[in-house]
Amino acid sequence: MQTYKGRFEPTRFEDLTVTVDFRCHSACRFCIVQEGMNYFKGIPFELFQRAVDDNAKNRRYRRVTFTGGEITLEEKLFDYVAYARESGGFEEIRLQTNGRLLADSAYARSLVDAGVTEFFVSLHGHDAETQDYISQRSGSFDEAMAGMRNVVDLGACLMTNTVLITLNQDVLSKIVETVAPLAPSRMEFWNYLPMEDPGDERGLLAPMAELAPALRGALDGCAKHEIEVLVKYMPRCLLGDHGETLDNAQPDVVIVEEFYDIYPKFACLYEAKCEYAESCLGLTHAYIKKFGWDKELLVAYPRTTPWQEQEDGLIFGSDQPGFGTVGTPSSDSSREGAHQEWAALVEGVAEATGAVLTDLVLQRRSCTYRFEHGASRVDIVLEARDEDGPALVRTPSFNVHYRNAEGDQELLRQIVAGAVKSVEARDPGGMMLDLRKGPVGPDSVRRRPKRRLPVKTGD
């Protein structure tokens, strides 16, 4: 069986990312969609509209992020932004960008005027020599810096993103010093995921023995400048005093579905021993293949509770730049009100049976209600409706079933029957769980012109 880390679906159920197109004017050496660039199609506007309309009705997401390729090259970007803004369903509209076109202050202003509130700008070097080498475009560093200054002058939210690779591991602290005068709302550091290069032929995977101390130095620098930080895909035990900055959540993504086929797998030798096994991903399989398990380097935090194979991923809290710690899974109270429409589906069931609804776990493909009554417990699970999958009952939106039934059989029967009846009566239809909503098959790619083989003429 695949370990928990190998099937991690790190969804933060409040952010929607829309991959508008796969074109870019830079050519970053670590790009994880390099092979898909100019080949995958972006999301058709109608599909985007459907997701926005759904959100206006069901309020699933607080933020929509537009990404690519390079989103600022997209001619229809203003149409996308306008539709999102006019829907009234999002508090924040974010662009994930290399920042180069933001150097044009009039263009940056027009984006802010259109409704963009947050700019998540890639910065992979501390100077032109490093950044331009990584992006393979001269001038890209100066343009990104000018773009970020414009964002700050316009009063919009600025965040930076640095991908951790061999080419910048030695200058991470310098990147912090370069960005600090701009006082960004947050700096993010994402360890490189070799999605298209599992053998690391590009030589970009940085060994933890070198990368981890360099990153800790950069995180110290952020702390000194009081810059909020978020780190992804690093072993938590290598972050020193900055362990709480680890946040492996990802937004829901509307993207060509082939993208999921190459999402990397993770593992850690100490998974069953470590207190943070459920939130830390450990190392990618590609890294382990190249460098081994790093068993002398990683240090398991002693567990305070026995380890159990996880059935659900973590529940992640809010991703609001400027509001402190980002990596902490949300407690029940911090999620208060976040999933009201899902809680409403089983409202009154616990009270009617004397049970307690101890948790509601909303994830990419399922919504789980955990009921307990003394020593008895049962989970009610909703998954996207399909006609073939196993189900106790099918409602307009869901296949409903139960699992982990333990204890008093009659009591459990009452809870399950009550929950099923409640969901049947209240499911309005159209509540989405299965996030496989991007284009699939031939429609997801651009047709490439057929090459004609040279016609041989007679000898």
- Number of residues in contact with ligand SF4, rule: CB under 6 A? 14
Does residue 167 touch ligand SF4 according to CB under 6 A? no
Class of residue 386 by CB neighbours under 10 A (exposed 0-12, middle 13-18, buried 19+) = exposed
Q: How far is the CB of 272 from ligand SF4 (least distance, A)?
A: 9
Distance (Å, rounded) from C-alpha 354 to C-alpha 346?
A: 14
Does residue 239 touch ligand SF4 according to CB under 6 A? no
| Region near ligand SF4 per CB under 6 A, out of 113-121, 147-155, 233-241, 302-310 | 233-241
| Region near ligand SF4 per CB under 6 A, out of 159-167, 263-271, 376-384, 401-409 | 263-271
Residue from 276, 287, 398, 402 touching ligand SF4 (CB under 6 A): that is: 276
Distance (Å, rounded) from C-alpha 334 to C-alpha 326?
A: 12
Nearer to ligand SF4 by Cβ, of 61 and 287: the residue is: 287
Q: How far is the CB of 220 from ligand SF4 (least distance, A)?
A: 19
CA angle at 452 for the pair 451 and 455, rounded to the nearest 5°: 155
Residue 399 backbone phi and psi in degrees, to 5: -95, 125
Does residue 259 touch ligand SF4 according to CB under 6 A? no
Identify the sign of the CA torsion 179, 180, 184, 187.
Answer: positive
| Region near ligand SF4 per CB under 6 A, out of 86-94, 163-171, 293-301, 411-419 | 293-301
Nearest Cα residue to 425 out of 434, 413, 417:
417
Does residue 298 touch ligand SF4 according to CB under 6 A? yes
Q: How far is the CB of 276 from ligand SF4 (least distance, A)?
A: 4
Does residue 313 touch ligand SF4 according to CB under 6 A? no
Nearer to ligand SF4 by Cβ, of 39 and 301: the residue is: 301
Nearer to ligand SF4 by Cβ, of 26 and 279: the residue is: 279
Does residue 236 touch ligand SF4 according to CB under 6 A? yes
CA angle at 452 for the pair 449 and 458, rounded to the nearest 5°: 175
Residue from 16, 51, 274, 431 touching ligand SF4 (CB under 6 A): that is: 274
Residue 251 backbone phi and psi in degrees, to 5: -75, 170
Does residue 268 touch ligand SF4 according to CB under 6 A? yes
Nearer to ligand SF4 by Cβ, of 142 and 275: the residue is: 275
- Restricting to residues 72-91, name those near ligand SF4 by CB under 6 A: none
| Region near ligand SF4 per CB under 6 A, out of 77-85, 169-177, 272-280, 359-367 | 272-280
| Region near ligand SF4 per CB under 6 A, out of 42-50, 73-81, 298-306, 367-375 | 298-306
Does residue 145 touch ligand SF4 according to CB under 6 A? no
Spell out the SS3 assignment of 55-97.
HHHHCCCCEEEEECCCHHHCCCHHHHHHHHHHHCCCCEEEEEE
Does residue 282 touch ligand SF4 according to CB under 6 A? yes
Q: How far is the CB of 8 from ligand SF4 (least distance, A)?
A: 12
Q: How far is the CB of 275 from ligand SF4 (least distance, A)?
A: 7
Nearer to ligand SF4 by Cβ, of 271 and 383: the residue is: 271
Q: How far is the CB of 207 from ligand SF4 (least distance, A)?
A: 15
| Residue 190 half-sphere exposure toward CB, CA atoms < 13 A | 19
Residue from 223, 300, 391, 392 touching ligand SF4 (CB under 6 A): that is: 300
Binding site for ligand SF4 (CB under 6 A): 235-237, 268, 270-271, 274, 276-277, 280, 282, 298, 300-301
